[in-house]
Amino acid sequence: MKLADQQTTALERDGFLILPDLFGLNEVALLRSRLPALLAEDSPANIIEKASGEVRTAMGIHLRDEVFEKLARHPRLLEPARQIRPEPLYIQQVKVNVKAAFSGEVWQWHYDFATHHHEDGVPQPLALNLHVFLDDVNEFNGPLYFIPGSHKFGAHQALHDTATTSYPLWVVDRQVVREMIANAEAIDPQRGIVAATGKRGTGLIFFDTLVHGSPVNLSPWDRSIFSLILNPLSNASSRARRPDFKHHRDFTDVQAVADNCLLSAAELD
Give residue-wise pLDDT tens across range 145-204: 999 999 999 888 999 999 999 999 999 999 999 999 999 999 999 999 999 999 999 999
CATH code: domain of residue 227: 2.60.120.620
What's the mean per-residue pLDDT of the chain? 95
Contacts for 186 with CB less than 8 Å, ≥ 6 apart = none
Look at residue 65 and tell me if it is in a domain.
yes
Give residue-wise pLDDT tens across range 46-57: 999 998 999 999
Look at residue 193 and tell me if it is in a domain.
yes
Q: Residue 171's beta-bridge partner residues?
A: 110, 159
Instruction: Give the count of domains, the chain.
Output: 1
Cα–Cα nearest to 124, from 136, 116, 133, 134 = 116
Q: Residue 85 is part of which domain span?
A: 19-268
Tell me which DSSP letter residue 217 carries. Answer: B
C-alpha 253: how far from chain center: 20
Question: Has residue 266 got a pLDDT over 70?
Answer: no
CA dist 203 and 98 (Å) reads 16
Look at residue 141 and tell me if it is in a domain.
yes
Cα–Cα nearest to 250, from 84, 88, 76, 66 = 88
Question: Has residue 136 got a pLDDT over 90?
Answer: yes
Model confidence at 265, pLDDT cuts 50, 70, 90, reads low
Contacts for 102 with CB less than 8 Å, ≥ 6 apart = 217, 218, 219, 220
Give pTM, 2 decimals: 0.96
Question: Has residue 262 got a pLDDT over 70?
Answer: yes
Look at residue 61 and tell me if it is in a domain.
yes
Look at residue 175 and tell me if it is in a domain.
yes
Look at residue 150 and tell me if it is in a domain.
yes
Could you please report the per-residue DSSP string of 125-149? Answer: S--EEEEEESS-B-SSS--EEE-TT
Look at residue 1 and tell me if it is in a domain.
no
Look at residue 146 and tell me if it is in a domain.
yes
Return the number of other C-beta atoms located less than 10 Å from residue 96's C-beta.
Answer: 24
Higher pLDDT, residue 149 or 264: 149
